[in-house]
Amino acid sequence: MSKISDYKLLSFDVYGTLIDWERGAVNAMQPVLEKAGKSDLDGKYIMAKYREFDSAVQKESPGTKYSELLTANHAKLCEKLGLEKPTPEESQAFGDSVGNWPAFPDTVAALKRLSKHFKLVVLSNVDNKSFAASNAGPLEGFQFDAVYTAEDIGSYKPDPRNFEYMFSHVLEQFGIERSEVLQTAQSQFHDHHPIKELGLKSCWIYRPESIMGNRNDPVWDWKFDRLADMADAVEKELGEA
């Protein structure tokens, strides 16, 4: 496959790629930050502290729903930030906040453009209820061709089982081979490195303002700052621009 338009299906990470994970999580931390008089704490600092333990927790608890991990991680993050221990209600609110995390401004329009040329599926580390809330709200009810979540699979990316689950299902549902799938994501850790280890290609939606999932040794086959830029490139390849 020498062009993006040669592929038949785009497999999307959602949180960090389509949804602004970091802004959403920082917004959800505001009640405890305001209570502690630290509402001006830098968002990137907060996310850097969260990143210190997030991946390890997912690996240790592959069968736990994402919203439940967020609820448990809230107390850990508060401790890392030097805040007092949150109440169970405060932690639960953080865990339930996923559906309120905002989409990036270009996301929905770009998905609509890309859907003219590809099957679009979700391969996310989230739970079904949280994704449904995101899809109904910030993603404006966009109709993906399929949705595969960590809750369905029983493990979290970068575990190769998640990708193998997606490959087997798109072959069964759409007759599309793994070589015809382009992983499209922001996270180097969760998506690009594992897909390269499987011998396949990826498109990096860089999101320059983001830090979650970054690595010092990035790999990719195509790279764009925004999903809209990828849609532009596809339309240019097809002579539609």
Size of the chain in residues: 241
- Let me know whether 64 and 164 are in one domain: no
Judge contact between 124 and 148, C-beta under 8 A. Answer: yes
Provide the CA 89 distance to its chain's centre, in angstroms: 26
pLDDT given for residue 170 in this prediction: 98
Q: What is the pLDDT of residue 55?
A: 83
Distance in angstroms (rounded) separating the CA atoms of residues 134 and 26? 17
Catalytically active residues are 13
What digits encode the pLDDT tens for the residues 179-189?
999 999 999 99
Domain count, the chain: 2
Q: Which residues contact 219 (CB under 8 A, 6 or more apart)?
A: 188, 192, 193, 196, 202
Neighbouring C-alpha atoms within 13 Å toward the C-beta of 14: 31
Peptide bond into 62 cis (omega under 30): no
Residue that is last in its domain, among 43, 70, 100: 100
Q: What is the pLDDT along the chain (241 residues), one digit of tens a residue?
A: 789 999 999 999 999 999 999 999 999 999 999 999 999 999 999 999 998 888 888 889 898 999 999 999 999 999 999 999 999 999 999 999 999 999 999 999 999 999 999 999 999 999 999 999 999 999 999 999 999 999 999 999 999 999 999 999 999 999 999 999 999 999 999 999 999 999 999 999 999 989 888 999 999 999 999 999 999 999 999 999 6
The pLDDT value recorded for residue 56 is 87
According to the model, what pLDDT value does residue 59 have? 87
Domain boundary among 84, 100, 116: 100
Report residue 63 as tokens.
């069968």
16 and 110 fall within a common domain: yes
pTM: 0.94
Residues 77 and 62 placed together within one structural domain of the fold: yes
**Domain span including residue 172:** 4-20+102-237
- β pairing state of 222-224 and 202-205: parallel
Are 11 and 40 contained in the same domain?
Answer: no
pLDDT of residue 168: 98
> Residues 194-210: pLDDT tens digits?
999 999 999 999 999 89
Which CATH number does the domain housing residue 165 bear? 3.40.50.1000
Q: Examine the fold and report which residue of 100, 131, 163 is the final residue of a domain before the chain moves on.
A: 100
- Rounded-to-integer distance, Cα 54 and Cα 48, Å: 10
For residues 41 and 89, state if they share a domain.
yes
- Mean pLDDT across the chain: 96
